[in-house]
């Protein structure tokens, strides 16, 4: 019973984080800030989601596969994010600065 | 697994994937679209894992592992269409007396 509650809570909160992250993809004004939203989706959302599924399945091979997905995304998600951001900087994208701030004084 | 959990999580993930596609269509720059495609791929992996436990076919977890690898490689492959080679002379805060590419 308690495992069911924990599983439902973990999966539910993970799905909520995923939804909040993708709403952030629309609310943020700039590409470089949207990377933060996508990162929330991938770490908090995917982490809680997969941990909830692993709690549900107990000590089986399926848990090992789920934890491998998490472990793999732990390495590939920052690498992919860094590669996209680096490509954007080389491409010449300028970060968005709030009008009125920015510069040496802001 | 509780059916409300499955339905709720699946609905949230599907809405997320739809919104990511919308960002891929709308995104003003190309890198926005690449980022949205990456987000779509990671949500596909989560959706596959959820389906594996909802329909009691644990073989879909192998698909999720394979697709997470494919998503990563695909995102890096999209970035190969941009010019490589860091032109340090044009980087911010670096004065240029000679340019190198």
Residue A25 has pLDDT above 60, yes or no: yes
B56-70 confidence digits (pLDDT tens): 999 999 999 999 999
How far B97 CA sits from the closest chain A CA (Å)? 19
Mean pLDDT for all residues in chain A: 90
pLDDT band at B97, cuts 50/70/90?
very low
CA distances from A84 to B17, B21, B33, B54, B69 (A): 20, 18, 11, 34, 17
Q: In this complex, is the C-beta atom of A20 within 8 Å of any C-beta atom belonging to chain B?
A: no
Q: Which residue in chain B is spatially nearest to A36 when comparing CA positions? A: B35
* Contact present, B69 and A72 (Cβ < 8 Å): yes
A32-76 confidence digits (pLDDT tens): 999 999 999 999 999 999 999 999 998 999 999 999 999 999 999
Tokens of B36: 């949205």
Instruction: Please name the member of A16, A26, A65 whose beta carbon is closest to the beta carbon of B23.
Output: A26
B80-93 confidence digits (pLDDT tens): 888 765 555 555 55
pLDDT at site B20 = 95
- Give one DSSP letter per residue of chain A, joined into a string: -HHHHHHHHHHHHHHHHHHHHHHHHHH-SSHHHHHHHHHHIIIIIHHHHHHHHHHHH-SSHHHHHHHHHHHHHHHHHHHHHHHHHHHHHHHTPPPP--BTB-TTT-
Q: Which residue in chain B is spatially nearest to A21 when comparing CA positions? A: B16
Query: Mean pLDDT lowest for which of A4-18, B2-16, B40-54, B74-88?
Result: B74-88
pLDDT at site B55 = 92
Q: Are the beta carbons of B34 and A84 separated by less than 8 Å? A: yes
Place of tokens 């789920």: A66
Distance CA B64, CA B48 (A): 6
B15-56 confidence digits (pLDDT tens): 999 999 999 999 899 999 999 999 999 999 999 999 999 999
pLDDT at site B87 = 54
* Contact present, A25 and A34 (Cβ < 8 Å): yes
Other C-beta atoms closer than 10 Å to the C-beta of B24 total 18
B90/A84: higher pLDDT: A84
């Amino acid at each position: 019973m308690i495992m069911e509650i924990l599983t439902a809570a973990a999966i539910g909160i993970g799905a909520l984080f995923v939804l909040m992250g993708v709403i952030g993809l629309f609310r943020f004004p700039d590409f470089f800030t949207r990377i933060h939203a996508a990162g929330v989706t991938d770490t908090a959302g995917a982490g809680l989601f997969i941990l909830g599924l692993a709690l549900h399945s107990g000590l089986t091979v399926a848990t090992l596969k789920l934890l491998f997905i998490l472990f793999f995304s732990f390495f590939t998600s920052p690498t992919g994010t860094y590669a996209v951001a680096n490509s954007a900087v080389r491409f010449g994208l300028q970060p968005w600065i709030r009008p009125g701030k920015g510069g040496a004084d802001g | 697994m509780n059916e409300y959990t499955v339905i709720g999580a699946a609905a949230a993930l599907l809405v997320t994937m739809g919104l990511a596609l919308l960002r891929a269509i709308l995104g003003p720059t190309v890198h926005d679209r690449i980022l949205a495609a990456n987000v779509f791929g990671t949500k596909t992996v989560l959706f596959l894992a959820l389906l594996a436990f909802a329909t009691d076919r644990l073989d879909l977890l192998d698909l999720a592992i394979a697709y997470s690898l494919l998503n990563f490689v695909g995102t890096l492959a999209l970035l190969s269409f941009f010019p490589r080679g860091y032109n340090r002379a044009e980087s911010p805060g670096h004065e240029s007396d000679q340019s190198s590419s």
